[in-house]
Structure 1
Amino acid sequence: MVRFKNRYLLVEFLLPTSLSSTLDTRYDSANPIIPKESALEDNGSEDEEDEEEFSPIPSLPFVIPTILPDSQLGDEGGQGIYKAVRSSVISVFGDEGWGRIASSFRVIYHSPLTTLTFLRIARPHYRLLWSALTFVNSLGNTPVIPRVIAVSGTIKKLQNRGIAYHRAMVGALISAGVDRNKAGISTGGGGKLEKEAEQEREEMERMQET
C-alpha cells in the first residue's frame, strides 16, 4: 500500500515594526537552537522521511521581535495566513498552481504570541508553497516578513523543533523586557507571557499528523 506523504513547514511571520536590533544576535554555531541534521535519502522506506538540510541557526537568529501588544496577529492569524498564501500562490503561479496544492495545503497551528506557524502540504509541491511564502508581505493590514525555520516529513520532528524554537524566542522576549525595564522602558507582562507561552507549547504537543 502506498502511503501519501506530506511535508510540514515551520514558519514565522516577523513584524517589521516590532523588530529590534539592540539585542545581542551574535552567531553562535556551537550552540544553535535547532541543531543541523544530515539530510536523509528518500529510498522509498516507510520508516524514514527525507529532510531539508539547514545551516545551524544562531541561538538568537538574525532579528528578534520585541514585546509590542499592538503588533500581534491575533487568534484569527491562521485564517489570515491561509488567505494570504492562497492569494500569493494564485498571483505567482496562477490558478494551476493553486489547483495543485489546494487539496493538501493546511494551516495546522498558528501561535498568536510568536507568529510561529505549522503548515502542511503534499510532498511534491512543498517547494511551490515555500516559493509563494516569500512573496507574502502582509497579513490583512499587518506588514510581515515570512521566514521558514524548518521543513520535515513528519509532524513529530517539527513539533520538537517548533517547541524548542518557541521556548527560546519567548525567553528572548522576556529577557528583552527585563533589559528595557532596567533602561527605564516599561514592557511588563513577563509572568503573563510565560503562562501564555506554556499554553501554546502544550497546544503544539497535541498536534497530530494529518
Structure 2
Amino acid sequence: MVGFKNRYMLMEVLLDPNKDLMLDEPIIITQFNLSKAIKNSIQANFGECGLALSQNSFQVKYVNPITKVCIFRTSREEYQKVWAATTMVKSIGNCPVVFNLLDLSGSIRACKNIALKCDELKFEQYKLSAGDRLTADVHQHMRNCLEKIRVLEH
C-alpha cells in the first residue's frame, strides 16, 4: 500500500510596495485569507472541477504574518494547479499581492527546515528596518511563530 503523496510549497507573500500602508488598513496575512484567495483563484481559472480535485488535499500549514512566509500542502497530482493558481492571485482583501515560490518539497521536514532559515533571515531584516519601533510583543509573536514551525508535522 502506497501512502498519500504530498507536495509542500514554501512561499512568500510580497505586498505591493507602492501601496501606502499607513493610510490604508494594513493587511494581516492569515491561513483563512490565503486559503480563500487561492481557492477562489483555482475556481476562477480551473472551474468547479479543478477546485473539487484540489480541495481534498490543499491546506495552508503555516503562516507567519510578520515575515509573510507560508507553507501549503497539496497532492502530488494537483501541485502544479495550485502553484499556477497562486501566481494568478492578484490581491488579498484590498491589498495587491504577488506570491514567490521559495521551495517545493516532497516532505514537510525539508520544507520546514528551509522555512526556519528563511524566517530567521527575514526577521533579522525586519528588525533592521523597524529599528526602535520594534516592540516586545513583536519579538514574542515571532518566537511563537518559530516554535510553531519547529513542531509542524503532517
TM-score norm. by structure 1 comes to 0.66
The answer to whether 1:174 aligns with 2:127 is yes
- 2:80 partner letter: R
Distance 2:149 2:57 in 1: 20
Map 1:49-68; keep pairs closer than 5 Å. Answer: none
The answer to whether 1:108 aligns with 2:108 is no
Map 1:129-148; keep pairs closer than 5 Å. Answer: 129-148=82-101
Give CA deviations for 1:58-116 in whole Å, capped at 9, x if unaligned: xxxxxxxxx97x77543x62101111111111111111211210111011121111121
CA 1:12/1:72 → structure 2, altered by over 3 Å: closer, same or farther?
A: farther
Which has the greater radius of gyration? 1
Which of 114, 118, 121 is the equivalent residue of 1:161?
A: 114
Shift of 1:175: 1.5
CA 1:156/1:126 → structure 2, altered by over 3 Å: closer, same or farther?
A: same
Map 1:199-210; keep pairs closer than 5 Å. Answer: 199-209=144-154
- 2:53 partner letter: R
Match of 1:145, SS? Answer: strand
Distance 1:96 1:88 in 2: 13
Distance 1:71 1:165 in 2: 26
Return 5+ residue gaps in structure 1 as ranges. 20-66, 179-186
Match of 2:44, SS? Answer: helix
Between Structure 1 and Structure 2, how many residues are aligned? Answer: 152
Shift of 1:168: 0.1
Distance 2:12 2:26 in 1: 12
Shift of 1:199: 1.4
Q: Report the equivalent of 1:10.
A: 10
Distance 1:73 1:6 in 2: 30
CA 1:158/1:71 → structure 2, altered by over 3 Å: closer, same or farther?
A: farther
Task: Give the structure with the larger helix fraction.
Answer: 2
- 1:14 partner letter: L
Residues 8 and 104, structure 2, Cα contact 8 Å, conserved in 1: yes
TM-score norm. by structure 2 comes to 0.89
Give CA deviations for 1:182-202 in whole Å, capped at 9, x if unaligned: xxxxx6115443332121100
Match of 2:101, SS? Answer: strand
Q: Report the equivalent of 2:141.
A: 196
Task: Give the structure with the larger strand fraction.
Answer: 2
Distance 1:161 1:111 in 2: 14
Distance 2:109 2:25 in 1: 30
Which of 33, 37, 40 is the equivalent residue of 1:84?
A: 37
Match of 1:144, SS? Answer: strand
Q: Report the equivalent of 1:22.
A: none
Q: Report the equivalent of 1:98.
A: 51
Return 5+ residue gaps in structure 2 as ranges. none
Match of 2:143, SS? Answer: helix
